[in-house]
Structure 1
Amino acid sequence: MILLIDAGNTRVKWGLFGDGVWQGEGALEHARVDELGAIAQGCAGITRVFGSNVAGSDVADAIAHALHGHAPAPEWLRSSAACCGVRNAYDQPGQLGTDRWAALIGARALHPAACLVVSAGTATTIDILAADGLFRGGVILPGEHLMRRSLARDTAQLPFADGRFVDAPRNTADAIASGCVNAQAGAVERMFRHIAHETGALCLLSGGGADMLANALDIPFRHVDNLVLKGLAVAATQPDTP
């Protein structure tokens, strides 16, 4: 059994994968990563720990400490020029975030045609994956929550708004919430233009903000939970993982 770890900017997601089947999954705030030890201790037969870490060395060290004595030392995915049917056109392939790389690998395994790989989290990433497996490039923007927080922090009269997404807002809270959602959806729909003409083109949507974003999109999409973990499972079980 493999323990897969997606250490993101806000949370650490984990999943147990064995014999082609998901046998458990969950998420922990950074301050609670020590609980991974108990999770591993309760799951006999973990032969490998494999993950993506964009949260920094302190989180990686905390994960390794939590698992010590209960599971093998973590191995971390590295972005490369090619892996599992995906080719990386980044100017410097190793600089691509490993969460994006894992999501692209997962997307390639799930959808054989061109797709837009979107992760809506603390940051929103929007990546173009061609039908032949070429990662053509992508964009990064602040997530919807960060957008709202920046308005509250850097303006004198705009609050941190807990409004609703509506077509034509008539109060400040809804205006802020709707503006931030529209900014996210507009970026996704604009990037989708790169592949919209291709047969079977689809947006694969993942991340904590996926439900919010899905309500605003006017393109074909599929909501995929834990796309990074799914990509890690592919990378961990195929022989060409670097």
Structure 2
Amino acid sequence: MILCIDSGNSRIKWGLHDGNAWVAQGAVAQGGAADLVCQWRDWPVPHQAVLANVAGSPVEREIASVLAELSVPLQIVQSSSNAGGVVNHYLEPSRLGVDRWCALIGAWALFGKACVVVMAGTATTIDTLDAQGHFLGGRILPGLDLMRRALARDTAALPFAAGTYVDFPRRTEDAIASGCLDAQAGAIERIWHRCRAEKPLCVLSGGNAELVGNQLVIPYRVAHNLPLEGLKRLASQS
């Protein structure tokens, strides 16, 4: 039994894999690592845990402490030049966010073909894999909520309020919601068209995957918890 943990900007996501399938998955808000024990209580103690963490050293230490209490060995994953069948062409491979790295490995493990890998969360990342599993590079832009917050924070008259996507908005709230979604979808489609000769699969993951996907005019798949898939692949090969 392998416990995979993806510690992101907003939440700590986890999945328990028995070698054949995910038997349980869950999440807690950042700052709630101690609550993980309650979620794990009803499941067998894993023989190994693997962690991808972008939330800083204090969170990493807190998660490690929880696992130490359960006597579960912990492997902390870092980005590298080659792992899980993916070759990392970042100029400094170790500086690629480990959540992006694990998502790329997860996409390759699931689909094994050219992909545009989108993580639509606190930030939105758009990363490109070619048909040989080479990570060519990517983009980072603010996620949907960050875009909306920036408008509310840095302008005098635009609210941080829920709106609805419409083709021709006639309310400010709808104009904000529609503009932010179009910005996300437009960036994804632009990258997809740039590498369309390889007929890449657009793969969406993250909390806003469905919202963003609904506005795309290119084919796409939603694959929840891609970083966990990547962590599972790495753990199975270690």
1:46 alignment counterpart? 46
- In the alignment, structure 2 segments of 5+ residues that lack a partner are none
Partner Cα separation in structure 1 for residue 14 and residue 231 of structure 2:
11
Correspondence for 1:161: 161
1:132-151 matches, within 5 Å, as: 132-151=132-151
Aligned: 1:221 with 2:220: yes
Is contact 1:116-1:192 (8 Å) kept?
A: yes
Give per-residue Cα distances to partners, 1:63-111, cap 9 Å, x unaligned. 1222232142432111111011100000000000000000000111111
The residue identity in structure 2 corresponding to 1:229 is: L
AA in 2 matched with 1:191: I
Q: For residue 30 of structure 2, what is the aligned residue in structure 1?
A: 30
SS of equivalent residue, structure 1 residue 236: helix
1:178 aligned to 2:188? no
AA aligned opposite 2:221 = R
Matches of 1:210 and 1:181 in 2, distance apart?
11
Partner of 1:236: 235
Q: Provide structure 1 residue ranges, at least 5 long, that are not aligned to the other structure.
A: none
Contact between 2:26 and 2:39, CA under 8 Å: does it hold in 1? no
SS at 1:235 equivalent: helix
Preserved contact between residue 40 and residue 70 of structure 1 (Cα < 8 Å): no
Distance between the aligned counterparts of 1:170 and 1:206, measured in 2? 31
Does 1:15 pair with 2:15? yes
SS in 1 for 2:231: helix
Do the aligned residues in 1 keep the contact of 2:120 with 2:206 (CA within 8 Å)? Answer: yes
- TM-score relative to the length of structure 2: 0.96
Q: Which residue of 1 aligns with 2:202?
A: 203
TM-score by length of 1: 0.95
Number of positions where the alignment pairs a residue of Structure 1 with one of Structure 2: 238
Q: Point out the more displaced range, 190-199 or 135-144.
A: 190-199
Summarize deviations over 1:203-223 as a string: whole Å, max 9, x none: 000000001101110111000
Aligned to 1:125: 125
Task: Give identity over the alignment, percent.
Answer: 50
Q: How far apart are 1:238 and its partner, in Å? A: 1.3
Using the TM superposition, give the Cα deviation of residue 39 of structure 1 relative to its aligned residue in structure 2, in angstroms: 3.4
Structure 1 vs Structure 2 CA RMSD? 1.2
Counterparts in 2 of 1:234 and 1:4: CA distance versus 1, 3 Å: same
